[in-house]
Copies of this chain bind each other. A is one copy, B any other.
Amino acid sequence: MDDLGARAQGILDDNPDTQIEAFRRVRGETERLAAPLSPEDQCAQPMPEASPTKWHRAHTTWFFETFFLPRFDRDYRPFRADFGYLFNSYYESFGKRQPRPARGLLTRPSAAEVSEYRVHVDIAVERTLRRLKPAEREEARLVLDLGLSHEQQHQELILTDILDLFSRSPLRPAYRDDLSAPPPRPAPPLVWVERDGGIREVGHRGSGFAYDNEAPRHQVLLRDHRIASRCVTNREWQDFVADGGYRRPELWLADGWAAVQARDWEAPAYWYAGEDGRTWTMTLGGAQPLDPEAPVAHVSFYEADAYARWAGARLPTEHEWEVAAEDFPVTGNTAGSGWLRPRAAAGEGELLQLFGDVWEWTMSSYAPYPGFTPLAGAAGEYNGKFMCNQMVLRGGSCATPDGHIRHTYRNFFYPHDRWQFTGVRLANDA
């Protein structure tokens, strides 16, 4: 990780008090997210791709115990030796680990013991931050940055994974009963924004924290194109469904059509026909009537691509998206807004809803930027080894922690994945 400093400047300065405050804020947020959940809720695993809340809580702690503490506190002893096996996610460098599909069998340690684990590690990290030698400060800050960003990613996963779990319960329980629906408002008309091509720059500028996959900043060649002013809405998606969208193979990529048939897709994930004749959907506030003005969510890349073809358009490339977004502030309906569901676009400006609401599928395969080099050591497994078979998404969602994302932030999922808050912004050639 030594070369991380060459291209990233942490958001945290070197003041231990400030660092500890940020550390506490992020770590505390994880616990606040878990608070509405019972021990059972925190333990179950709905599918191999989604993990139990308890596991997220422990894994993010293991991350500090593994990447931070041994480096800066030689006397640190792991809370329990076997937690390395239980809570390693995918780091081959650290050896064998609990198989991913079997995370739900980890009834022990209990949710309460995981709380103890978190406190133990939190105290150790804070103590270590106060005792750092000057020569260690920069490296420590970088690892801390990485650990907190990592934890924020898992905060989003806590929400999406619990939504998936609850969607499989016949009771369709609410993650939080106190979540109210946002006041209804109509989505503004979709406007096509013209964008000039040419040589542009994308990628992280090297100031402030960023993942290794956002670097190096480099030139790209864009063509003239158009991009939609907002995301596709549920109402628009219902038109696609009504027009036979899920029954017309000519609209689909071959692998997408195979997925439609193998998985019996007829609509976005979580939609179902209510007894009242309306379409309902599963939300973090339990089952709710679908808001036709809100952006569609829980669609796969295959569906996004088919919708775009149906609409005579295409998805944007990740570079088009990034260049279009660079003049807009990173604000929107992210988790801090408290709604925890996508809502209708609003606001001023040419391009709305770039950040928050739903992750926007792009047509770009997730691949290394030219000159990409992963972090040294085990942290190098963080991003690079997933650069195949996945597609890039941009912009964050209603479940993304405030302050987590950036203009250059690259998320990635398999083209069939649907359990994230994933939606669609259209683009087209000029």
Contacts and interface: CB of A to CB of B under 8 A. Distances in A.
A344 interface: no
A39 B54 CA distance: 13
A263 interface: no
Contacts of A253: 385-388
A44 interface: yes
A223 B105 contact: no
A169 B106 contact: yes
A270 to B, nearest CB: 15
Interface residues of A, number: 62
A111 B387 contact: no
Interface in A220-259: 220-221, 223, 249-250, 252-257
Given A170-B86, A387-B253, A44 B107 contact: yes
A254 B93 CA distance: 13
A105 B85 CA distance: 24
B40 A110 contact: yes
Interface string A177-210: 0000000000000000000000100000000000
A371 B223 contact: yes
Interface string A348-368: 000000000000000101011
Given A40-B39, A44-B43, A111-B40, A221 B223 contact: no
A35 interface: no
Most B CB contacts (10 A, CB to CB) among A44, A107, A171 go to A107
A337 interface: no
A90 interface: yes
Nearest to A365: B365
A256 B388 CA distance: 9
Interface in A293-327: 301-302, 305
A106 to B, nearest CB: 6
A78 interface: no
- What is the oligomeric copy number? 4
A395 interface: no
Contacts of A90: 254
Most B CB contacts (10 A, CB to CB) among A92, A252, A415 go to A92
A254 to B, nearest CB: 4
A171 B42 CA distance: 19
Contact of A429 (B39, B219, B365, B371): B371
Nearest to A250: B92
Interface string A101-114: 01011111111000
26 contacts: A38-B39, A38-B108, A39-B40, A40-B42, A44-B44, A44-B104, A82-B171, A93-B250, A98-B170, A104-B104, A108-B173, A109-B171, A220-B221, A221-B221, A223-B371, A253-B385, A254-B385, A254-B388, A301-B388, A302-B388, A363-B367, A363-B368, A365-B365, A365-B367, A371-B429, A389-B415
